[in-house]
Structure 1
Amino acid sequence: MRRHRDAGGRLRLYHVRPGEGRERHRVRAQLRELVRSCSRQRHVPGTAVPGRRSELVRHAALVARRPWRRGHRRTLQLQRLGAVNEQRENEEKPIKIRAHKNKGAPLAVRQVYRAEACALALAAVLGATSAGAASDPFIDALPVGGAAVGYLLRFERSTYRGAERGADQLPLYLYEGERAYLHGTRLGLKASAADWRFDAFLAYRFEGFTRDRRPAVAEALAPREPGFDAGVSLRRRTSWGTPYVELLHDVSRSSNGTELRAGYWNEWRRGRFTLKPQLVLAWRDASLNNHYYGTAEYQAGAGLDAQAALYASYALTESWNLLGWLTATRRSHEITASPLAQGGLAAEAFVGFLYDFSPKQARWAPRISADGKPLIVKALYGNSSDCDMLQIMRFNCTTRHTVDNTDVVALHVGRKLIERAGGWPIDLAGFVGIQRHFEKSYQDDFWSVMAFFKVYWYGFGWERWGLHTRFGMGSGLSYSEQITEMELRDQGRRGRGNWKLLSYLDPSFDVRVARDTYVGVGVSHRSGAFGKSQFLGNVNGGSNYIYLSLETSF
């Protein structure tokens, strides 16, 4: 930042164009210098100094101001910077600093600034910003079209008396679309207008206990399984934070309960560190409370819970992030008076990592034709197999229909997200799919759906002879309308319960038969996380289908 007084005695600040490797702290330092200068001075319109280019920050022409107006001047300056930042923060290409020409006049200084750098610096200097919304900490975490994967360990001090305190595993799959999103345990649609945002979503409820993880006080009771809520939320982003309201209702026929939440988010950023505190008041109806905490002798009524949460993340690199958050909940008297509940606060702690594909997606974006990104369509037909997935992948066991003769037919649709990552023969694609289960005489046929990311490796040595092959590994989530015969038998043999939502794996080997067309063999695999994840029903086991497939792109 350079100061210069023109012939009229007015002080001007000139912004020196930075090099390619300028660090963030330099941007913040320059903005702080500007704010300190503006707090003592007043903006006066002016023209550029002859011979100078107009690489100037906002409010370049300044003159001295009386000391008692400094506070007011600082307030106006910050308001103006914030207003311009909000107007341009969603622009695809921020305005760059350059000269502006007026007809019949010399170069004039306009109030321009480097939007991208100032947005980052302003967030660091001013502290609180208005990212984040609703009770989902991953809202606004990714750009449109961005994807990420991660893993968390969850520790809980349960409301239930005598509940286990072991680590619970939680896989994370995130995708941010223009109108839809997947945020780990939440799937939703969104609509935005100015500072308002509306969401309609399905969310997993971390409450209750499964057949295999009963607390000591509930040994004689039927399982109180976690459920899935359908909900709507409305939030308004402000300069002092993000208040929101949410309405949720159980749609898994578990509790048939309803919950109304009113909360407040805020966010602080300092370099690579992000901190988001949250306060929530939650009104829960009698159906919800009684399902999870009622007994034959005690009927729980409606009540008001209070919760405080603190979410934190640290960016190790442009893609790797460490995550952690804490929640403390004060339950209503209707819950704490239950013979199933213990005293004190209910608490949760999460710690883990997140890998953000977004920077790589921008750097190694796939080729786009005039019609846009090609759509990948894959059809498959599979037979049930009692072989383990790893045995099938090594071709040590490929038997089919040995115990039951159930089959599946599926259709997967997706798009390529990354092509030739880092110059290596590695691609990444995202898929959603629908699968029909043919259970023959065992039970009625039913549907399942899945969403997953898939990595492809290719470029093997035999391609020099014209044989193009690839190996793929998909990972995501699968929700089944019913439990398959294979899973019922597998879990029954272990004396464990079943769950409709499980992890989904899709290893495959394909041979190219035409341009963008492949035939292949693979495994459609559903399973839990070895009984270590409440999100996956503490299931240990699953099902495998060996399939043949045909894939092409449009």
Structure 2
Amino acid sequence: MRISVRPIVGVVRALLLSCLAASAPWATATNPVTEIATGDIPKGTLGLGFGWRFGNSPYRGIDDISSKETEQDSDLLPFYFYEGKYLFSHGSAAGVHLIDTGGFTVDALIAYRFDRLEPERDDFFAGVEEREQSLDGGLRGSVTGDWGKVSLTWLTDTLDRHNGEEIDLTYRFTWVGEKWTISPFASYVHWDASLTDYYYGVSAGEARDDLPVYRPGASTTWRAGVNTSYRMSKRLRLFANLSVDRLDDVVADSPLVDEDWLPATTIGLAYAFGNVLDDRQSGRRDAEREGEWSWRVNYGYTAEETFHTVHRGQLKRSDDVHTYLAGLTLSKLALDGKRLDVWGRVSVNRRLENDLQDDFWEINPYIMLMGAGYSPWSNRELFRYGFGYGFSYADSVPIVEQVKQEKRDRDTSHFLNYLEATVDFPLRNLFGDRGWWRHCYSGLTLVHRSGIFGRVDILGNVSGGSDVVTGHLECKR
């Protein structure tokens, strides 16, 4: 069994540490082609979406950016969007606003590096070591004016893959129209010798008659591109991004490479569910619910069946392992809709592994859609039902996922998609309206981690996951 700790591990770890304390084609981790143009999106907005990433590989005999794990010529890219006062997530980049004066910002950020070489994809690379995707972290300073925006970004490896550094100088100008946002950009990107050598060098151990030793020095890339988005409605927008890289001769001369120019495209859609910072932007219908939030505690066991089967009532305990989960969830109302409420949520869970491995922490930021059922006679609330979607980072891979994936000879990942389904009942219907429980609910929550059919690089191209059945108590404030 291969337990693959994919590069995205560091992304959520960095975000978690930041919370507790207070984008890209082949050529670089900071290419805005995998980000959404956000010129007219208010701070506090919660959004989800997905896109398809297309592009050329620089490596000989490999024509696309897909993985050996899939049979596609593209990569599916989920978008978890948030622009907050301190935290942000814009597609393949996320981080913390350290300084924000309006015209000048300094951010600490992490960015997924999509560069990779999988030798299995072409016989020419027999005997060549794999060049893995990674996660870079660093700082970005930006100056903004009527003339546009200039950003300087420094990134370094956080996973000891390439152990190199990148400097990116980008200028962009953004036009925001009634429905269109158009933002062209131009970049100068510098890779140090370590980063260039990792992806494009040839070691003595890899060399052969038709593949000589090659030790490149530092390299530079010139890039031009444009981010566009079209607002189809108040909440739904389409986006299409394009970039073209001109590779340095230092890279183009590598015996691993047969390209000089690298185009890349990302297309997709995103939906804004609400706003957790500004009630004026959230479409609040009931003024009395302004600032509403909740806490929830839950505890339960690992289930045998898959999410959709458990959802239909198959609550059997796992046959493979007997492990448990205890969690705390904090929620902020983003939108009190006519039929559904939208909540921004973060759950912190403790995975109790029953001595099969050390217990560990898990964090799950997600968006929850919550509806309610009412009595036809009294209009009294009888129950709530909710469905949540986001991402999950586990400090260790749950043992149940290791066992299940080993049976299927599949990879695992610390970072996966997160799904949640919940049904609960107001305690005031049982105990009356007087007491601490009058705004509390009790019921069941199904917790689910998985990949997306093995199609997503950021999720380690994992197919499979785990499910937990829990009981919960939630109280609104």
1:51-200 superposed matches below 5 A: 135=32, 137-163=36-62, 165=64, 166-190=73-97, 191-200=99-108
- The 1:271–1:467 alpha-carbon spacing in structure 2 relative to 1, beyond 3 Å, is closer
> 2:219 aligned with 1:303, yes or no?
yes
Q: Deviations over 1:194-218 (max 9, x none)?
A: 421211122222222579x856554
Query: Whole-Å Cα distance in 2 between the matches of residues 510 and 223 of structure 1?
Result: 49
Q: For 2:118 and 2:364, locate their aligned partners in 1 and report how far apart those are by CA, in whole Å.
A: 23
* 2:141 matches 1:234: yes
Structure 1 CA distance for aligned equivalents of residues 474 and 326 of structure 2: 14
Structure-2 change in CA distance of 1:219 and 1:138 (3 Å): farther
The residue type paired with residue 381 of structure 1 is Y
Deviations 1:274-307 (A, max 9, x none): 2211111111122222333334333443211121
**Structure 1 match to 2:385:** 471
Q: Which residue of 1 aligns with 2:423?
A: 509
Partner of 1:386: 304
Are the aligned partners of 2:341 and 2:369 in contact in 1 as well (CA < 8 Å)? yes
2:252 aligned partner: 336
- Aligned partner letter, 2:283: W
Q: Residues 242-257 of structure 1: matches in 2 within 5 Å?
A: 242-257=149-164
CA contact (8 A) 1:418 1:427 kept: yes
| Match 1:262 to one of 169, 173, 178 | 169
In 2, the alpha carbon distance for the partners of 1:162 and 1:249 equals: 29
**How far is the alpha carbon of 1:433 from its aligned partner?**
2.3
Change (3 A) 1:251 1:236: same
Structure 2: distance between partners of 1:293 and 1:444: 39
Q: Is the 8 A contact 2:40 2:176 kept in 1?
A: no
Q: Work out whether 1:317 is the aligned partner of 2:233.
A: yes
Alignment deviations for residues 82-108 of structure 1 (CA, whole Å, 9 cap, x no partner):
xxxxxxxxxxxxxxxxxxxxxxxxxxx
**Alignment correspondent of 2:343:** 429
Q: Name the counterpart of 1:552.
A: 475
Alignment equivalent of 2:111, drawn from 194, 199, 203: 203
Return 472-481 or 246-255, whichever deviates more.
Answer: 246-255
How many equivalent residue pairs?
Answer: 416
1:362 corresponds to: 281
1:255 aligns to what SS in structure 2?
A: coil
Distance between the aligned counterparts of 1:529 and 1:218, measured in 2?
A: 29
Give the C-alpha shift of residue 333 in structure 1.
3.1
The amino acid that maps onto 2:51 is: L
How far did residue 169 of structure 1 move? 0.9
Take 2:128 and 2:451, find their aligned partners in 1: how far apart are those partners?
24
Alignment-derived partner of residue 19 in structure 2: none
Q: Structure 1 residues 471, 161: CA separation in 2 closer, same or farther (over 3 Å shift)? A: farther
In structure 2, C-alpha distance between the alignment counterparts of 1:287 and 1:490, rounded to whole Å: 38
Q: Report the CA distance shift for 1:200/1:484 in structure 2 as closer, same or farther (over 3 A).
A: same
Q: Of 302, 322, 337, which aligns to 1:405?
A: 322
Per-residue deviation at 1:271?
4.0
- SS of 2:152 mapped into structure 1: strand
Which amino acid letter does the alignment assign opposite residue 375 of structure 1? W
Shift of 1:543: 1.3
Structure 1: gaps (5+ residues): 1-132
Conserved? CA contact 1:163–1:216, under 8 Å: no
Q: CA separation of 1:535/1:391 partners in 2, compared to 1, >3 Å: closer, same or farther?
A: same
The percent of aligned pairs where both chains have the same amino acid is 27
Corresponding letter in the other structure for 1:364: G
Structure 2 counterpart SS, 1:491:
helix
CA contact (8 A) 2:112 2:134 kept: yes
Q: SS of 2:406's equivalent? A: helix
Indicate if the aligned counterparts of 1:154 and 1:170 stay in contact, CA closer than 8 A: yes
**C-alpha spacing 1:452/1:498, structure 2 compared with 1 (3 Å):** same
Cα distance in 2, alignment partners of residues 308 and 392 from structure 1: 48
C-alpha separation in 2, matches of 1:216 and 1:392: 44
Question: Could you tell me how far 1:222 is from its partner in structure 2?
Answer: 4.9
| Residue pairs, 1:278-289, within 5 angstroms | 278-289=185-196
The equivalent of 1:101 in structure 2 is none
2:395 is aligned to 481
Please give the TM-score of this superposition, normalised by the length of structure 1.
0.69
The whole-number CA distance in structure 2 between the counterparts of 1:380 and 1:417 is 22
Deviations 1:108-137 (A, max 9, x none): xxxxxxxxxxxxxxxxxxxxxxxxx99555
Name which one, 1 or 2, has greater alpha-carbon Rg: 1
Q: What is the alpha-carbon distance in structure 1 between the residues aligned to residue 237 and residue 381 of structure 2? A: 39
Q: Is the 8 A contact 1:366 1:417 kept in 2?
A: no
> 1:429: Cα distance to partner?
0.1
Distance 1:438 1:147 in 2: 31
Which stretch of structure 1 is more off in the superposition, 289-298 or 341-350?
289-298
> Which residue is 1:455 aligned to?
369
Is 1:293 the equivalent of 2:200? yes
Letter in 1 for 2:149: T
Displacement, 1:483? 1.7
After superposition, the C-alpha distances for 1:471-495 in whole angstroms (9 at most, x for unaligned) are: 1111011122222222222332333
Preserved contact between residue 274 and residue 314 of structure 1 (Cα < 8 Å): yes
Structure number with the higher strand fraction is 2
Sort the Cα spacing of 1:463 and 1:290 in 2 relative to 1 into closer, same or farther, 3 A. Answer: farther
* In structure 1, C-alpha distance between the alignment counterparts of 2:458 and 2:145, rounded to whole Å: 34
Alignment of 1:488-503 (within 5 A): 488-503=402-417
Report SS of the residue matched to 1:163: coil
Retained in 1: the 8 A contact 2:37–2:228? no
Q: Measure how far apart 1:468 and its partner are.
A: 2.0
Q: Of 262, 268, 284, which residue of structure 2 is paired with 1:346?
A: 262
Alignment RMSD: 2.7
